[in-house]
Amino acid sequence: MAVIPVAIAGAPYDVRIETGLLERAGEHCRPFLRKDRVAIVTDENVAASWRQKVEASFSAVGVASDWLILPAGEGTKSWEQLARVVDWLLAQEVERKDNIIALGGGVIGDLTGFAASMVKRGCGFIQIPTTLLAQVDSSVGGKTAINTAAGKNLVGAFHQPALVLADPLALDTLPLRDTRAGYAEVIKYGLIDDAPFFEWCEANGAKLLAGDSSARETAIAKSVAAKARIVAADEKETAGIRALLNLGHTFGHALEAETGFSDRLLHGEGVGLGMVLAARFSARQGLMSGQDAARIGAHIGGIGLPASIKALGLDCNGRRLAGHMLHDKKMDAGTLPFLLMRGIGETFLAKDVDLNEVAAFLDDEMTR
Ligand code: GLY
């Protein structure tokens, strides 16, 4: 089993990664539970695949589990479902020192973590992420949120979990498209500051997507270790370090907004294409070599993620896409920080990017 410590000052915890961990969830959580009952929040799909096994693992260590099973999908990250989770946790008489459990993908983790941050002014929680995206990104680092009419993830809190359990076997019950989208976040860690890991991705990405458990464990452990290092250095994203995790997200967010945050472009797919665009824009600005940018595009496209805007068939221009960026939550006093690259593994935060140049670049990309 890989155990990755996340050394957040005042709230350190471990991420444990192992194939088959879901069936041993009870045993791993037991030392974090003060009572012989635990509250578990999940969604319908995850419950159908895993409830029986997870429930049995808690029974085996003398813990009864109470389940709140929510509708699956992004729509669940809402005020309405947040109120439902909070009311349910209060009805379960959850106390501040208890740890509740979020079992699911990013939607369940973000929503349950946010509910935990407010119940009794903050109770504990354990993340058991069941999608690749949640395992390598959203379950680690304590960002929790819901979506509102004003946009995605605009209301939330930093609230760190007490433990994270990641089981690569959970990916077997998911559509390949979801795992492929989550894999974009794995590649991201190579591009941020670890060129050898990007090379590892080039050599092993296809194997991982085909279900190889050793490749999955390595990818999750390397990604979590990278994220742990970054969030320990800059938990609240104030020092320009955690912002590196947004590589590909500004271009990606604009494309997600244009496609209505729908199944037309999943978040991870937007991030993958966003990283290709960040690389190509960096090359156009003379910051990185065209060869490196082409290599990034070749890997992302090669494993089946969208790698060009044209493939999305959008009916808009670059100015409209750049306009979506103005509503990005990373806007800072009227300027939008961009993550650009000097090479593979050399991402940096650029604060002086001209949105007119971005719009012109995007116009050219639409026809490429
Ligand atoms: N997903 C970006 C972050 O956790 O900061």
Q: Is 242 a catalytic residue?
A: yes
Domain termination residue (choose one: 173, 204, 222): 173
Give the confidence band of 333 by pLDDT, cuts at 50, 70, 90: low
> Percent of the chain scored above 90 by pLDDT?
92
Of 353 and 48, more confident: 48
Q: Is residue 269 part of a domain?
A: yes
Residues 148 and 231 in one domain: no
How many domains is the chain built from? Answer: 2
Integer Cα distance of 147 and 174 in angstroms:
23
Q: Is residue 168 part of a domain?
A: yes
Q: pLDDT tens digit string along 197-220?
A: 999 999 999 999 999 999 999 999
Q: Give the type of residue at 206.
A: A
Give the confidence band of 327 by pLDDT, cuts at 50, 70, 90: confident
Q: Is residue 156 part of a domain?
A: yes
Confidence (pTM): 0.96
Residues 306 and 197 in one domain: yes
Residue with the nearest Cα to atom 3 of ligand 1? 245
Nearest atom, ligand 1, residue 137 CA: 1
CATH of the domain at 21: 3.40.50.1970
Site to probe by mutation for ligand 1, drawn from 15, 107, 246 as the one with most ligand atoms within 8 Å of Cβ, is 246
Residues 346 and 199 in one domain: yes
Q: Is residue 362 part of a domain?
A: yes
Q: pLDDT tens digit string along 224-237?
A: 999 999 999 999 99
Give one word for 341, left, alpha or beta, with left for phi > 0 and alpha for psi -120 to 50.
beta
Residues 205 and 307 in one domain: yes
Q: Side-chain half-sphere of 269: how many Cα atoms within 13 Å?
A: 20
Distance in Å, CA 9 to ligand 1 centroid:
17
Residue with tokens 């009227």: 334
Integer Cα distance of 104 and 40 in angstroms:
10
Contacts of 335 (CB under 8 A, 6+ apart): 351, 352
227 ligand 1 Cβ < 6 A: no
Residues 161 and 214 in one domain: no
Residues 326 and 203 in one domain: yes
Q: Is residue 179 part of a domain?
A: no
345 ligand 1 Cβ < 6 A: no
Q: Which domain holds residue 159?
A: 2-173
Q: Is 159 a catalytic residue?
A: no
Residues 320 and 208 in one domain: yes
Q: Is residue 11 part of a domain?
A: yes
Distance in Å, CA 315 to ligand 1 centroid:
30
Q: Is 249 a catalytic residue?
A: yes
Q: Pick the catalytic residue: 28, 77, 159, 267?
A: 267
Q: Is 121 a catalytic residue?
A: yes
